[in-house]
Chain A
Amino acid sequence: MALKSVSSLRSTLVPRAVLAVTSAALLTATLATGCSSSSSSSNAISENLTGRGPITYVEGKDTTETGAVKQLIDRWNAAHPDEKVTFKEQSSDANQQLDDLKQHMQAKASDYDVVALDVPWTAQFAAKGWIQPLKDSFAIDTSTLLSPPVASATYNGTLYGAPRNTNGGLLFYRKDLAPEPPKTWAEMISMCPKAKEAGIGCYAGQLAPYEGLTVNTAEVINAFGGSFVGPDGKTPTVNTPQAKQGLQTLVDAYKNDDMPKEALSFKEPESQNAFTSGKLMFMRGWPSSFGDAGADASAVKDKFGVAPLPGKDGIGASTLGGYNAAISAFSKNKATALDFLRYLISEDAQHIVAQGGLPSVRASVYDDPALIAKMPYLPALKDSIASAVPRPVTPFYDAVSKAIQDNAFAALQGTKSVDDAIAGMQKGIETAGS
């Protein structure tokens, strides 16, 4: 009895190992073939320029309470019965949206006409030749739009997308502890003893090792006059005294306990949680945190205000979020698609966008009293976005973002000096894409 089952164990040992190895091979192979690169498609860009007809608009799940995207499309469809727009709603996960878009573009599929691109994806899609440059006969008038969102849609001196909506960081502050919000980092840090008296943390953003850390690091480096890449999207420009000073400010704040120790594990939910439960005096957050901070369950319901982010000598530099709408190079009806882009940045459309809680790309929308009554953060957000800086515009965004994150995190943890971290970012950006 014993022998029998033991020997059956033996005979299964080898096939099982083979099975395990095979499944290891499968796992690694599927990972590797998940996405492959394809050549640039310069021909497609010059084709179908005058095509008109129904088109498809592709964007991640519409999470606005007002159903803003549907409203936008309904309004367009009512006016253009022959050139109707169909909304192809993707998942709400940004990585899945990107994968879906990449796969369609690599296949040169014509079923996606206008695509919504998260700001940092735009340069990559442009450099791959997947989206239509908006120049010559395809030029759109961006003179009435806020300039930072336009910059985020510009690669190598050419506009590639219509800014659909934007987003900027805000400083949430405790009115009861700081009657006037700080305008500069130095001012904010000088208020920290008050937080200590109250037994709470002074400042926190999103410093866990993920995309949020890139955003927070970029903000402080930009605020002190630093930058990351040159206009060509490749040449690193981060190794400057300004950038060092910026990162040093952040690192000092952490070292001197002006940030709580656990801030290094904060992503959006954790930082928002800390602020709404009254454990923070200042928080860097997105406008979407406003609702929760003002909700009944919030410990700071009537005790908080919002201001633009602090900078070196005045208002800081927020990192831009938001989406750009671009025309697929493989679209058959590019003329219609172009009209649709122009419509998306129109006054009317931008009002619908703003009512959905998505920050508009038109300055005028921020001055609408009815909207301000509903969203009191709009004036602060307008200032924030006006001085905002897009994330490094580069086709190698993933690699650049990682170089920023890894080095900034090491500097915050104290395993690397600020000088080394900045030099590391410089080298990391230099070798991005290799």
Chain B
Amino acid sequence: MKSQAPQSNSPKRRGPVLGLTARAWLFVAPVLLALVVVVGYPVVRAVIMSFQKDAGIDKSTGMFVEGGSAGFGNYTHWLLQQCTNSLGETVSCPTGNGGSEFWAAVGVTFFFAVVTVSLEATIGLGMAMIMGKTFKGRALLRAAVLIPWAIPTAVTARLWEFMFQYDGVVNRVFGTHIVWTVEGWPARFAVIIADVWKTTPFMALLILAGLQVIPEDVYEAAKVDGASAWQRFWNITMPLLKPALLVAVLFRTMDALRLYDLPAIMTQDLGATRTISTLVVQQSRSGANSASALSIITFLLIFAVAFVLVKGLGANAVRTQEAQREAH
């Protein structure tokens, strides 16, 4: 593929290299500038803010005064759960103070991410296998499956909130008396169900796209060789599907780590379902600078996860393809 690149087709196309690069840069410059303004500025500003103290009260006047430099104070507030009491001493943050909730929120966020993404990948794979088969009404099924994905998340959250109400459908169908939206584990369960319902179709479609490109003749050859259905799935479908599956998992993991709307709407300010994002929003009401620090921490966390996924799993996916190419 690479050798076909039309660089050396005619001498006319060969201009002065530096001039060409300069012109290229000229064309790209507006976009880069826009990116710096749109992406760079807020990030840099957030970083600067995160090293400043939130405004505090001057006891003698009762008026707010600027907090000044905080050093890493805002970061230790979250990471080490350190708060300042009215005497100015550093104490460990009590319940009800955002600082005490950081690690719990990280735990909840990662728990949601791991559980929802695994469920979505598994169920999505199953749905894709079914949708990949040829049968009557397949087009209709494929369209219908997309409905949960098409509904705005806020609406989804409301919908499930109603279903999980005390006198809602869920309790009636199962004859239970659980107050889903305020009890710890039931509330987490409710959020997970809603998230899986909403995003499994997305997963299924991405996986389906991966399935569609596996050539039928490979299966037929395997069948001729006497491979069982399980062997065909495990030795043909899974390896060939892996790259598509990994992209889908990567996407969803990033999304899940930023989860905000479902818990915020379905369960209000409940501690048991507080994710990092809901904590950021909550904190930004009382202190913009400490909220900035939390945002930066969140960003680094998500970045680290993305990096690990791309480096670890992504490289793996690439190797699989290269192995395939060699095999061909």
Chain B residues whose CB sits within 8 angstroms of the CB of A256 once the complex forms = none
B205 to chain A, nearest CB (A): 14
Segment touching A, from B85-93, B125-133, B134-142, B191-199: B85-93
A405 touches which one: B55, B83, B269, B314 (CB < 8 A)?
Answer: B269
Q: Flag if A1 contacts B213 (CB, 8 Å).
A: yes
Q: Flag if B213 contacts A403 (CB, 8 Å).
A: no
Instruction: Say yes or no: A403-B97 contact (C-beta < 8 A), given A3-B324, A209-B270, A264-B182.
Output: yes
A198 interfacial by beta-carbon distance below 8 Å: no
Q: Flag if B46 contacts A33 (CB, 8 Å).
A: yes
Q: How many A-B residue pairs have CB under 8 A?
A: 250
Render A4-19 as a binary contact track against B, CB cut-off 8 A, 1 for contact: 0111011011101100
Q: Flag if B324 contacts A28 (CB, 8 Å).
A: no
Q: Flag if B306 contacts A262 (CB, 8 Å).
A: no
Instruction: Say yes or no: A129-B64 contact (C-beta < 8 A), given A21-B306, A234-B59.
Output: yes
Q: Flag if B317 contacts A13 (CB, 8 Å).
A: yes
Segment touching B, from A241-249, A307-315, A359-367, A391-399: A391-399
A297 interfacial by beta-carbon distance below 8 Å: no
User: Would you list which residues of chain B between 79 and 138 have a CB under 8 Å from chain A?
Assistant: 83-86, 91, 93-99
Q: Flag if A210 contacts B268 (CB, 8 Å).
A: yes
A417 to chain B, nearest CB (A): 13
B185 to chain A, nearest CB (A): 12
Segment touching A, from B26-34, B150-158, B227-235, B277-285: B277-285
Chain A residues whose CB sits within 8 angstroms of the CB of B298 once the complex forms = 24, 28
Chain A residues whose CB sits within 8 angstroms of the CB of B213 once the complex forms = 1-2, 5-6
Q: Flag if A425 contacts B96 (CB, 8 Å).
A: yes
User: A22 vs B96: C-alpha distance in the bound complex, in angstroms?
Assistant: 32
Chain A residues whose CB sits within 8 angstroms of the CB of B45 once the complex forms = 29, 33
Chain A residues whose CB sits within 8 angstroms of the CB of B262 once the complex forms = none
B198 to chain A, nearest CB (A): 18
A43 interfacial by beta-carbon distance below 8 Å: no
A20 interfacial by beta-carbon distance below 8 Å: yes
Instruction: Say yes or no: A265-B165 contact (C-beta < 8 A), given A24-B303, A40-B65.
Output: yes
Q: Flag if B59 contacts A431 (CB, 8 Å).
A: no
Q: Flag if B299 contacts A410 (CB, 8 Å).
A: no
User: A262 vs B55: C-alpha distance in the bound complex, in angstroms?
Assistant: 40
Q: Flag if B46 contacts A433 (CB, 8 Å).
A: no
User: A287 vs B63: C-alpha distance in the bound complex, in angstroms?
Assistant: 35
Q: Flag if B286 contacts A36 (CB, 8 Å).
A: no
Q: Flag if B302 contacts A24 (CB, 8 Å).
A: yes
Q: Flag if A395 contacts B96 (CB, 8 Å).
A: no
Segment touching A, from B8-16, B17-25, B250-258: B250-258
User: A270 vs B166: C-alpha distance in the bound complex, in angstroms?
Assistant: 10
User: A2 vs B43: C-alpha distance in the bound complex, in angstroms?
Assistant: 40
User: Would you list which residues of chain A between 27 and 72 have a CB under 8 Å from chain B?
Assistant: 27-37, 39-40, 42
Chain B residues whose CB sits within 8 angstroms of the CB of A270 once the complex forms = 165
A431 touches which one: B97, B177, B277 (CB < 8 A)?
Answer: B97
User: A208 vs B161: C-alpha distance in the bound complex, in angstroms?
Assistant: 13
User: A425 vs B91: C-alpha distance in the bound complex, in angstroms?
Assistant: 15
User: A27 vs B278: C-alpha distance in the bound complex, in angstroms?
Assistant: 12
B208 interfacial by beta-carbon distance below 8 Å: no
B284 touches which one: A34, A236, A403, A406 (CB < 8 A)?
Answer: A34
Output the nearest chain B residue to A406 by Cβ-Cβ distance: B96
User: A375 vs B89: C-alpha distance in the bound complex, in angstroms?
Assistant: 53
User: Would you list which residues of chain B between 178 and 201 have a CB under 8 Å from chain A?
Assistant: 179, 181-183
Render A380-411 as a binary contact track against B, CB cut-off 8 A, 1 for contact: 00000000000000011011001111110110
B288 interfacial by beta-carbon distance below 8 Å: yes
User: Would you list which residues of chain B between 39 and 69 have a CB under 8 Å from chain A?
Assistant: 39, 42-43, 45-46, 49-50, 54-57, 59, 62-67
Q: Flag if B318 contacts A33 (CB, 8 Å).
A: no
Instruction: Say yes or no: A398-B285 contact (C-beta < 8 A), given A21-B306, A31-B291.
Output: yes
Q: Flag if A9 contacts B302 (CB, 8 Å).
A: no
User: A54 vs B240: C-alpha distance in the bound complex, in angstroms?
Assistant: 73
Chain A residues whose CB sits within 8 angstroms of the CB of B181 once the complex forms = 208, 265
Chain B residues whose CB sits within 8 angstroms of the CB of A232 once the complex forms = 59, 62
Q: Flag if B292 contacts A32 (CB, 8 Å).
A: yes
B140 to chain A, nearest CB (A): 26
B148 interfacial by beta-carbon distance below 8 Å: no
Q: Flag if B288 contacts A32 (CB, 8 Å).
A: yes
Instruction: Say yes or no: A29-B317 contact (C-beta < 8 A), given A209-B268, A399-B286, A431-B84.
Output: no
A118 to chain B, nearest CB (A): 13
Output the nearest chain B residue to A423 by Cβ-Cβ distance: B94
B299 touches which one: A24, A40, A431 (CB < 8 A)?
Answer: A24
User: A12 vs B310: C-alpha distance in the bound complex, in angstroms?
Assistant: 11
B177 touches which one: A234, A261, A267, A424 (CB < 8 A)?
Answer: A261
User: A14 vs B318: C-alpha distance in the bound complex, in angstroms?
Assistant: 11
Output the nearest chain B residue to A431 by Cβ-Cβ distance: B83
Output the nearest chain A residue to B210 by Cβ-Cβ distance: A9
Chain B residues whose CB sits within 8 angstroms of the CB of A404 once the complex forms = 96
The listed residue with most A CB atoms (<10 A of its CB), out of B182, B271, B296, is B182
Instruction: Say yes or no: A22-B318 contact (C-beta < 8 A), given A33-B49, A234-B86, A433-B57.
Output: no
B86 touches which one: A16, A37, A209, A235 (CB < 8 A)?
Answer: A235
Chain A residues whose CB sits within 8 angstroms of the CB of B251 once the complex forms = 16, 20
Q: Flag if A433 contacts B287 (CB, 8 Å).
A: yes
The listed residue with most A CB atoms (<10 A of its CB), out of B55, B257, B314, is B55
A430 interfacial by beta-carbon distance below 8 Å: yes
A9 touches which one: B57, B91, B247, B324 (CB < 8 A)?
Answer: B247
A127 interfacial by beta-carbon distance below 8 Å: yes
Chain A residues whose CB sits within 8 angstroms of the CB of B59 once the complex forms = 232, 234
A127 touches which one: B57, B83, B182 (CB < 8 A)?
Answer: B57
Instruction: Say yes or no: A402-B282 contact (C-beta < 8 A), given A32-B291, A33-B49, A232-B59.
Output: yes
A428 touches which one: B38, B97, B183, B277 (CB < 8 A)?
Answer: B97
A427 interfacial by beta-carbon distance below 8 Å: yes
- Residues of A in contact with B (beta carbons under 8 Å apart): 1-3, 5-7, 9-10, 12-14, 16-17, 20-22, 24-37, 39-40, 42, 127-129, 155-156, 208-210, 232-236, 261-262, 264-265, 267, 270, 395-396, 398-399, 402-407, 409-410, 413, 416, 424-425, 427-428, 430-434
Sample of 9 more A-B contacts, CB < 8 Å, known A13-B310, A30-B42, A39-B64: A6-B244, A40-B63, A40-B65, A262-B166, A264-B182, A402-B286, A427-B97, A431-B86, A434-B54
6 residue pairs of the A-B complex, CB under 8 angstroms, read: A13-B247, A13-B314, A24-B303, A399-B97, A430-B86, A433-B287
List 7 A-B pairs, minimum CB-CB distance, nearest first.
Answer: A262-B166, A403-B96, A427-B94, A29-B42, A428-B96, A156-B62, A28-B295
